[in-house]
Amino acid sequence: MKKVLATVFAVALSGIAAYAQPAELPNTQIKDVNSSKKIAFDQTVEKGKVTLINFWATWCVPCKKEIKNVREKMAQWKTEADFNYMTISIDESRAEGLVRSYAKSQGWDFPYYIDANSDLKRSLNFQTVPFTMIIDKNGKVAYTHAGYEEGGENEVFNKVKELAKQ
């Protein structure tokens, strides 16, 4: 019995350690696709407000589905929680035009950036898209999730609401 309890305790501690995030957001440069200006990632997040970020790529079908579902629910969500939303593409720089045209064709009315050299992706230490991140009001990473399943955006929004109330 002691071994079982010790194992459960060790697994719980390792789970907490797995969610340990850097103290500060990286100031890695990303590019605003609309203005073509570079900006430090930590400057894209408004202090005092929760920010939901979807990392994606033009070749990633689940990424596009997730962003579409989030966008469709955005008006309702904004009545329930005060938060910002943005996307960051991990496409290569030569695909910047494709990112821009896709976003415009979808009617995106939120900020979207490109991490053309994957510098930010490396700074944040994630491997694949779709990748979701929530930044709390203090500018700290409060939640991350890799992958997407239909309806998964609702779980993410519940976390956004929880953080927005704090």
Sort strands 83-89 and 50-56 into parallel, antiparallel or unpaired: parallel
25-65, pLDDT tens digit by residue? 999 999 999 999 999 999 999 999 999 999 999 999 999 99
Mean pLDDT of 73-82: 97
- For residues 53 and 162, what is the distance between their CA atoms, to the nearest angstrom? 16
**Domain locations along the chain:** 25-165
What is the per-residue pLDDT for 5? 36
In CATH, the number for domain 25-165 is 3.40.30.10
The C-alpha atoms of residue 10 and residue 32 are separated, in whole angstroms, by 43
Residue 14 has pLDDT above 60, yes or no: no
Contact 56, 63 (CB under 8 A): yes
Mean pLDDT over 130-152 rounds to 96
